[in-house]
Amino acid sequence: MSVITYRQALRDTLRAEMHRDENVFLLGEEIGVFEGSYKITEGLLKEFGERRVRDTPIAEEGFVGAAIGAAMLGLRPVVEIMTINFSLIAIDQIINHAAKIYGMFGGQTSVPMVIRTPGGGGQQLGATHSQNIELFYSFIPGLKVLAPSTPAEAASMLRAAIRDDDPVLFLENLGLYNTKGEVPDGDESVAEIGRAAVTREGTDITLIGYSRMAMVAGQVAEKLAAEGISVEVVDLRSLRPLDRDTIVESVRKTGCAVVAEDDWLTYGIGAEIAASIQEGAFDYLDAPVRRVAMAEVPMPYAKPLETAALPSIDSITTAVKETLSAVGRRVG
């Protein structure tokens, strides 16, 4: 068992998959000579050459379109878009082509491609570079949208994404790149796409998150355990397909739920989770589902304002305690 960063887990997995399958190749802005804006592709150009690690112009619509064509012809491109904010330039290619080709052509051709892209606030990158707009893509049938929260999950889910025959949007929160976790040596496990994980068992309340918020949810649960509050943590891992069964099963056990997300509250992922709980566990609920999300503002640049806009351990802890207090459960 090795302890490595989320960043290293991604790099190691890309390298291993390129060795495993010669049809896997990488393309994106500055991923070759510069080795990627976040150094995920460090060393890969030197090892695999320009044929399989392709630097592209600053033209997201163009290189995402090229990847779609390559995937239709049997290759397995892994595209790096420097930030999810730049994916908006390629949104027509992603939504109207990658997601729809299999269905529109009656299954005659598939689009086995991965789009890796980081997002999220907390890095003082300003309003146009700090968004979590995965909701745009999670809304679209034909796409799969993954959001791993740990190095081990990043590795197993990236393997699954690369080997999948459908287009996959692979979300990487910037706040996770330097986080560390255990990854089994020689691990070649492939995650099941569309399967959430109960990462901590509990009995008092269910706390649901994905990506960075799944990590924070674990920290909240650890903090509240010291106060005698038993929190069950559900890491969504996959936003499309969404594992409603695991969510509902957990809430039926605990009777209460809080959803934490790094995007805006209105029309957010949490709204879909709350609706799923209402449909599948209404008779088991002791209190309304609470949602914790970022402030409904463009992300501020100033560090104190940016910090205040993002959900935190304190804001999630408060939501958990208020939910339990509302149903008469004693909290510290």
3-state SS assignment for residue 25? strand
Q: Which of 147, 159, 234 is nearest to 196 (CA)?
A: 234
The DSSP-derived string for 275-311 is HHHHHHHGGG-SSPPEEEEE-SSPPPSSHHHHHHHS-
| Residue 19 is among the residues annotated as catalytic for this protein | no
> Would you place residue 218 in the very low, low, confident or very high pLDDT band (cuts 50, 70, 90)?
very high
Distance CA 115, CA 48 (A): 20
The third-level CATH classification (topology) of the domain covering 197-326 is: Rossmann fold (3.40.50)
Return the ∠ at Cα 90 (arms to 267 and 175), rounded to 5°: 60
3-state SS assignment for residue 155? helix
Look up residue 227 and give its DSSP letter.
T
For 134-150, letters b (16+ CB in 10 Å) and e give bbbbbebebbbbbbbbb
Q: Give residue 330's pLDDT.
A: 64
The residues facing 169 across adjacent strands are 115, 145
* CA dist list (Å): 77 to 119, 167, 194: 21, 10, 21
Distance CA 103, CA 105 (A): 5
Every domain of the chain with CATH number 3.40.50.970 lies at 2-183
For 239-257, letters b (16+ CB in 10 Å) and e give bbebbbebbbbbbeebbbb
Does pLDDT of 329 surpass 80? no
Does pLDDT of 85 surpass 80? yes
Distance CA 18, CA 49 (A): 12
Omega prior to 300 cis, within 30 of 0: no
Q: Name the catalytic one among 29, 80, 129, 232.
A: 129
In the chain, the percentage of residues whose pLDDT exceeds 90 is 95
Q: Give residue 332's pLDDT.
A: 61
Q: Give residue 128's pLDDT.
A: 93
> Would you place residue 48 in the very low, low, confident or very high pLDDT band (cuts 50, 70, 90)?
very high
Instruction: For the chain, give the mean pLDDT.
Output: 96
pLDDT in tens, 97-111: 999 999 999 999 999
Does pLDDT of 331 surpass 80? no
Q: Give residue 327's pLDDT.
A: 81
Helices 244-254/269-281 angle, 10° precision? 60
Alpha helices (H) along the chain: 6-20, 44-48, 60-72, 91-93, 101-104, 134-138, 151-163, 212-225, 244-254, 269-281, 303-309, 313-326
Every domain of the chain with CATH number 3.40.50.920 lies at 197-326
Please compute the mean of the pLDDT values over residues 59-82 and round it to a whole number.
Answer: 98
Does pLDDT of 73 surpass 70? yes
* 232 CB-near residues (< 8 Å, 6+ apart): 198, 200, 201, 202, 203, 204, 205, 206, 207, 221, 250, 253, 254
Q: Give residue 106's pLDDT.
A: 96
Token look-up 């190095």 returns 151
Q: Name the catalytic one among 17, 35, 60, 261.
A: 60
pLDDT in tens, 111-128: 999 999 999 999 999 999
| Residue 60 is among the residues annotated as catalytic for this protein | yes
Does pLDDT of 23 surpass 80? yes
Please compute the mean of the pLDDT values over residues 181-191 and round it to a whole number.
Answer: 89
Please compute the mean of the pLDDT values over residues 209-227 and round it to a whole number.
Answer: 97
Q: Which of 198, 213, 197, 309 is nearest to 269 (CA)?
A: 213
Look up residue 329 and give its DSSP letter.
-
Architecture per CATH, 2-183:
3-Layer(aba) Sandwich (3.40)
